[in-house]
Amino acid sequence: MKYRDIEKVLISADQINKRTDEIAKQITEDLKGEDVVMICILRGATLFFADLVRKVDTSVNFDFMEVSSYGSGTASSGEVRIIKDISTPIENKNVLIVEDIIDSGHTLSYLKRILKQRNPKSIKIASLLDKPERRETDIKGDYVGFVIPNVFVVGYGLDYDEKYRNLPDVCVLKPEVYA
């Protein structure tokens, strides 16, 4: 039923699970036993975040942040504002921003800039997906799950019109859904 608008599965739940294991292992190695504050960017990153935090093998604090970008249609204008800030102080802490997708890059450029102003010890980005063809900034993910082509994807946290976030896989919608 929940797959009725889906044309195909692009990345399966099994692939996501295996890749998240690899990313978590790399993050754990890079932290060398130090603590980390992992920040989930609402709402798309929630499922990736929930899986990733359980696989990272060090002491983790976590918090949530919501931002919105003003833009016309699906394109980001580059103007971003905070809807909900973290309440965790991050000065001298290792910070890992967790996102579902890097598209134009405006959201993460903004987030990295404002979080850096709080003087963390380190700041890195983990993103499940990366769409480099759409990039308008020079932001890069430190840990990227999958590089994908310029197709609109839903599932595993990602939405179209707030739907499909609960699909276990990253999927491509049927074109008529947009029509």
CB of 70 or CB of 89, closer to ligand PRP: 70
Kindly compute the dihedral angle of the four CA atoms of residues 151, 154, 157, 163, in this order, to the nearest 10 degrees: 140
Binding to ligand PRP in span 112-141, by CB under 6 A? none
Instruction: Tell me which of 51, 103, 130, 169 is the catalytic residue.
Output: 103
Mask of contacts with ligand PRP, 27-66, x by CB under 6 A?
Answer: --------------xxxx----------------------
Q: Counting contacts by CB under 6 A, is residue 101 touching ligand PRP?
A: yes
In angstroms, give the least distance from the CB of 1 to ligand PRP: 22
In whole angstroms, give the CA distance from residue 171 to residue 115.
32
Half-sphere exposure of 123 (CA within 13 A, CB side): 19
The torsion angles phi and psi of 177, rounded to 5 degrees, stand at -65, -30
State which of residues 106, 129, 130, 164 lies at the interface with ligand PRP (CB under 6 A). Answer: 106
Note if 100 is an active site residue.
no
Residues forming a β-bridge with 163? 160
State which of residues 39, 47, 65, 76 lies at the interface with ligand PRP (CB under 6 A). Answer: 76
State which of residues 51, 103, 130, 169 lies at the interface with ligand PRP (CB under 6 A). Answer: 103
Query: Could you give the 3-state DSSP secondary structure of residue 54?
Result: helix
In whole angstroms, give the CA distance from residue 22 to residue 55.
9
In angstroms, give the least distance from the CB of 11 to ligand PRP: 16
In whole angstroms, give the CA distance from residue 14 to residue 18.
6
Q: Counting contacts by CB under 6 A, is residue 100 touching ligand PRP?
A: yes
Hey, what are 142's tokens?
């430190």
Closest to 108 (Cα-Cα) out of 124, 84, 90:
124
Residues that bind ligand PRP (CB under 6 A): 41-44, 69, 76, 99-107, 159
Residues belonging to the active site: 103
